[in-house]
Structure 1
Amino acid sequence: MAEIFLPSYFRAGRDSADAETGTARLAVLLAVHGIVWTIASALYRSNLDWAGDMLENYTWGIAWQAGYHKHPPLFAWMTAAWFTVFPHTDVAYFALSVANALLGVCGVVALAHRFLPAREAAVAGLALAVSPIYTTLAIKFNANTVLLSLWPWTAYFFVRYIQTGTRKAALAMGAAAGLAMLGKYFSVALLVGLLLAGWARPAWRARLLQPQALLAVMAGAIVLWPHMRWLVDHGMPTFAYARDRMHEIARPLPAVAADMAVYGLVQVAYLLPSMAFVLLLAGHARGRAAKLMLHGYVRRSLQRDLWWLAMGTFLAICALAMVTRTHLSSLWGNTQWFAITVFWLAVLANAGVRLDMRRIPVVMAVYWALTLALSAGGGYLKAVHHDRLAMEPRQALARAAHDAWDRGTAQPLRIVAGNDKEARAVSFYARERIHYWDVLDPAATPWVTEADVRREGVLFVCRDDDAHCQRAASSFSGEEPMTITVHKTTWGIRMPERHYVLFLLPPGKPAGADVTTARMTAPVAP
């Protein structure tokens, strides 16, 4: 069994035919899986996410900045690039979320193939593909879920360097690590976890201490350089945001310890569908397989190299939580399990447990049917019970706001402001590129200046119950408010009407007040 853990290029002659066939079958399965989950997301959700992160991604991305006041820029760039090709619809956005998750699954397969034959590597990817981590929790594309695609590939290039030691592998490892940091600074947990795994194994440690490892540092620095320069030029706003967030959720050490216990149990629960997938393929040996997989969490001796790779990032996250006394959100750690199914399958192979690959099409077909049925049923019930997200008429509001602008001016709409979700919806569902401007915190949208607003004009979109937004819009624009009423219909059910207040400042018309006055006029948000 030891040869299973040799680098894949030593096995190329033996399983190249299996790899070619398996790759084609895996590609078909993943393509169908992606289509099913895109449709399921559209059936279950009649809007994008409640918090408006996905709308924020878009309005950030179309500005193409080297950084943004909350996060590094990669996920916003990905969103902007996607929508230069695809239409501005919810379905297209769900497809981006699914594509990101599937890219991560491919990274898991590539990582697994460094240790396992092609067919077992494909099973490792499919097992994670059916978990909530890479499906329901991945649909909200943001700074957390972008790591689903970045972390597995970073781990893959790490292992490739460990196994080969080449300069090319070192450069790829460093570039991948840099991209992970451009996704979210939380990727430092991944890097610490990989270093922990590398340091725990003597052969791996020796590779990390070779001079070629400095090439990885150089490649990572090159990838990060534009963002690092942006940070210096803009006064480190992302670090200030992270510091404020940590202060908001700092907790006593006993509470952090309790959080970690709950966090670990939730993570195990998220992985239960992946475990069930493997057990269904194990047939009559599923009892023994389940025992081995569960023991794997605490027994390094079952396969030491892969145990550290699978658990190193988990240990790093727990250590960081203790040091910073931060509440552990289960969503933060979902991306850490890129190697757990690889570890499981290696342990089962060492124990002589064989998987019946012929069951995969049937298992996946049943899973897809259940996914579509449950998504349709859940979406319909949300509409019947007037779920708050289902009721929001974001697309209808965007159309009505554009119609109001077209009636009031002869110029195209270039800038929109107001309540963040509502104004960003007007930007996202537009036919052309429209920038969102934060009138109360212009530093958050520095690509739009007050001079741009006065020259291009602006449309303020406020909820009818938000006097804060209306007062700021009225003060800046000096215009009379316009009230519009819109509603949406989903699953054939008419949702309750919503009312919004618009303020139209046409291009070139003098504004009523400057930004400072508008901020002073509006009350401070609670």
Structure 2
Amino acid sequence: MGWIRTIMTDFSLSSESPGARAGTLAASETFRLSMLLAVQTIIWAVGSWIYRSNLDPAADMLENYVWGIEWQPGYYKHPPAFAWIAAAWFKVFPHTDLAYFALSSVNATMGICGIVALARRFLPLRDALIVGLAMAVTPIYSTLAIKFNANTVLLSLWPWTAYFFIRYVQTGTRKSAAAFGAAAALAMLGKYFSITLLIGLGLAGLVRPTWRAQLLRPRTLLVLAACAVVLGPHLAWLVKTHFPTFTYADERMHETGGGHPFYLLLLYKVPYALIQLAYLLPALALLSLLLPGRRLAAAGLMLRSIVQPSLDRNLWWLSMGTFFAVCSVSLASRTPLSALWGNTQWFAIATFWLFVLKQHGLEPDTRRIVRGMTAYWALVLALSTVLGYVEASQHKPMAIEPRAELSRAARQLWRDRVGLPLPIVSGSDKEAKAIAFYGRDLTHYWDMYEPANTPWLTRADVTREGALFVCKSADGGCIQTATAATGSQPISVTVHKRAWGLRLPDFSYTLFLLPPAGWHGAGRPVSGAAPAAS
């Protein structure tokens, strides 16, 4: 409860309520702005679901789930936080696309709440909520946030880490030190790229004299201790497993063209910076629109502030420190930057902009903000509907894959032939993970190609418990491997999905059933053709 009270003090109205009437008006406006953020969460969950007939093309979201349900301290590609979050979410919510997009939207909103809490350290609550809305309408926290994975989990983790950093350098309390250390560790458990956040915060802290004095106190050792406690199990796992995540990162670096000449990497930072600015333009536009009669002047002032640290050096370094860290790490590692990697670094920029606007006497007017946000939401839902229908009617691969339908058909076949819940699934990557996700029974995923990638299961476990193997019918390599693993005859299944009143194309799959050891044929034979399913 102490931690909750600590955070809630930053959402208090006490500092902006000199009189009862003023306090009532402030509370009313605060409630209205808060409700806008809540509705934004719902709109983007529903809009994403309408637009996308499946979760994501690469099936990363399915992978999050099949990893997370194993509750491992690490996975061969990434640290574990985002997989744990997905697994915890689906302990409560149904295994549906809508529920998964709701997780993506809630994750983005948790990040917005962190931005509001951070802004509250510099601005009144009403203005902090305006900052949150400004960031909520950017692609960073909307269109680019609908795919929940190791990148987008940082949308929620980074702002709260920055918040606890600021709370520590401003107050110096033991609680804030421990909270900052724990938040920093959670950010690292989200993705190792969070080292750039910690470097950026450290840079900002060392550059600003009062913050530097706080960081150089012995109490900062509590930050390191808390960080070590939270990171400890993952670090032990890394040593025990010989750093597989580092190996994967090194492989990805070479795949994406690591080792570029320094001058080219330096030149690449120009388009990178411009793309980041483009992502932030909706926030700049919203803040400008709240200043009738001074919109162009406000926009110009915000753009100039990016290169004018003198307007507020604390917030400028908090806004830009991680940008410098990201670029420096890219140059040091000779790795080109993906624009998506930098999305999460802008947790303080809208706070800086609004602070500067208020310094110049520009006070936001929120009287028409409900009408504006309503028009924005209507546009989001309309575009989601149009684009979703177009994708399905044009038979775009992402829209027509019958992932949930395949899972229903495969699970029904297993129940009919084996008569038991499906314990394990393997085979073609996306298809096997889809079967594991879409279903009420807890089904584990096993990688038959690289068993070391799923160490929670061994070949002996698969033989003892039984498994269903699924292959795309055109995937000869998968069929050959599954045949050798099961020794059973293939079963052909054809499924399709329906969307927008359309019957979408058929997809053919080949299934293999490996009943559990000691099974005596409680159901129908495990080989032979299966009826087509829809």
TM-score class, shorter-chain normalisation, is over 0.9
CA contact (8 A) 1:157 1:169 kept: yes
**3-state SS of 1:462 partner:** strand
* CA apart distance, 1:254: 3.0
Deviations 1:233-274 (A, max 9, x none): 111111111122122220232332232111111111111111
Match of 1:388 in 2: 397
Match of 1:233 in 2: 240
Q: Which of the numbers 494, 498, 503 marks the counterpart of 1:489?
A: 498
CA contact (8 A) 1:481 1:502 kept: yes
* CA apart distance, 1:22: 4.5
Q: How does 1:363-442 map onto structure 2 within 5 Å?
A: 363-442=372-451
CA–CA separation in structure 2 for the residues paired with 1:295 and 1:132: 22
CA contact (8 A) 1:192 1:313 kept: yes
**1:152 maps onto 2:185 in alignment:** no
Q: Which of the numbers 326, 331, 334 marks the counterpart of 1:325?
A: 334
**3-state SS of 2:431 partner:** helix
**3-state SS of 2:292 partner:** helix
Match of 1:103 in 2: 110
**1:447 maps onto 2:456 in alignment:** yes
Match of 1:116 in 2: 123
Deviations 1:490-514 (A, max 9, x none): 111111111111111111169xxxx
CA–CA separation in structure 2 for the residues paired with 1:450 and 1:10: 57
CA contact (8 A) 2:34 2:129 kept: no
* Aligned AA (1:475): A
**3-state SS of 1:284 partner:** coil
**1:132 maps onto 2:139 in alignment:** yes
CA–CA separation in structure 2 for the residues paired with 1:478 and 1:260: 54
* Aligned AA (2:61): M
CA–CA separation in structure 2 for the residues paired with 1:198 and 1:10: 26
**1:33 maps onto 2:33 in alignment:** no
CA–CA separation in structure 2 for the residues paired with 1:508 and 1:383: 43
CA contact (8 A) 2:135 2:350 kept: yes
CA contact (8 A) 2:10 2:117 kept: no
**1:201 maps onto 2:208 in alignment:** yes
* CA apart distance, 1:183: 0.6
Match of 2:360 in 1: 351
CA–CA separation in structure 1 for the residues paired with 2:28 and 2:462: 57
* Aligned AA (2:448): V
Normalised TM-score (structure 1): 0.93
Deviations 1:298-340 (A, max 9, x none): 1111111100000111110000000111121111110000001
**1:341 maps onto 2:350 in alignment:** yes
CA contact (8 A) 2:427 2:482 kept: yes
**3-state SS of 2:273 partner:** helix
CA–CA separation in structure 2 for the residues paired with 1:154 and 1:449: 38
* Aligned AA (1:438): D
* CA apart distance, 1:73: 0.5
CA contact (8 A) 1:22 1:122 kept: no
CA contact (8 A) 2:402 2:507 kept: yes
**3-state SS of 1:333 partner:** helix
CA–CA separation in structure 2 for the residues paired with 1:443 and 1:306: 46
CA contact (8 A) 2:13 2:27 kept: no
CA–CA separation in structure 2 for the residues paired with 1:13 and 1:201: 26
CA–CA separation in structure 2 for the residues paired with 1:379 and 1:398: 22
* CA apart distance, 1:352: 1.0
Match of 1:189 in 2: 196
* CA apart distance, 1:423: 0.3
CA–CA separation in structure 2 for the residues paired with 1:469 and 1:147: 35
CA–CA separation in structure 2 for the residues paired with 1:61 and 1:379: 29
CA contact (8 A) 1:411 1:507 kept: no
* CA apart distance, 1:11: 8.8
* CA apart distance, 1:23: 4.2
CA contact (8 A) 1:8 1:115 kept: no
**Which stretch has the larger CA shift, 428-437 or 23-32?**
23-32
**3-state SS of 1:480 partner:** coil
Deviations 1:438-491 (A, max 9, x none): 011111100011111011111111111111111111111111111111111111
CA–CA separation in structure 1 for the residues paired with 2:266 and 2:147: 28
CA contact (8 A) 1:22 1:118 kept: no
Normalised TM-score (structure 2): 0.92
Match of 2:99 in 1: 92
Which structure 1 residue ranges, 5 or more long, are not aligned?
A: 1-6, 511-526
Deviations 1:133-167 (A, max 9, x none): 00110000000000000000000000001111111
Match of 1:242 in 2: 249
Change (3 A) 1:19 1:225: farther
* CA apart distance, 1:407: 2.1
Alignment size in residue pairs:
504
* Aligned AA (2:43): V
Change (3 A) 1:23 1:213: farther
**3-state SS of 1:65 partner:** coil
Match of 2:6 in 1: none
Match of 1:520 in 2: none
Match of 2:4 in 1: none
CA–CA separation in structure 2 for the residues paired with 1:85 and 1:463: 32
Match of 1:310 in 2: 319
**3-state SS of 1:343 partner:** helix
CA–CA separation in structure 1 for the residues paired with 2:219 and 2:27: 32
CA–CA separation in structure 2 for the residues paired with 1:277 and 1:145: 23
CA–CA separation in structure 2 for the residues paired with 1:353 and 1:153: 28
CA–CA separation in structure 1 for the residues paired with 2:195 and 2:144: 22
CA–CA separation in structure 2 for the residues paired with 1:387 and 1:259: 32
